[in-house]
Amino acid sequence: MTARFLYSIPVSLVGYRKINPVEVSLELRRVYEDIFTALLRIEVSVGTDNVLIVKPLQLDETAKQRFQDYQEQIERKLGIDGELKDVADWGSKLSGAVARIAGIFACN
């Protein structure tokens, strides 16, 4: 199961934080709020038998090529000398997770 989780382990900023940081602009706050509001308003289609109706994500040719390039980059990193060799189980699911997240953002 651990291969299915998306992890984030950011570098700690402790010791380097700004004590009085510049406030985020009102415009940026509104953009952020608009994006998340749109995500929350995505309609989900459910059939009469309460089964989720799934629509396939359609990629144009440019997007297909970019995604394939990304998959190839990940695949090379999974090899014996690659960055992801020690987490190959997790890395083998990475491009699929990225596609699903991109699909969510494409729904608005």
- Predicted confidence (pLDDT) per residue in 18-40, tens digit: 999 999 999 999 999 998 898 88
As for how many domains the chain has, the answer is 1
Residue type, 35: I
Residue 94 belongs to what domain range? 23-106
Domain assignment present for 82: yes
Domain assignment present for 36: yes
Domain assignment present for 8: no
Domain assignment present for 7: no
Burial zone of 84 (CB within 10 Å; 0-12 exposed, 13-18 middle, 19+ buried): middle
Domain assignment present for 98: yes
Domain assignment present for 3: no
pLDDT in tens, 39-79: 888 777 777 777 776 777 788 999 999 999 999 999 999 99
Distances (CA, A) of 37 to 11, 21, 33, 50, 65: 29, 26, 6, 25, 30
pTM: 0.62
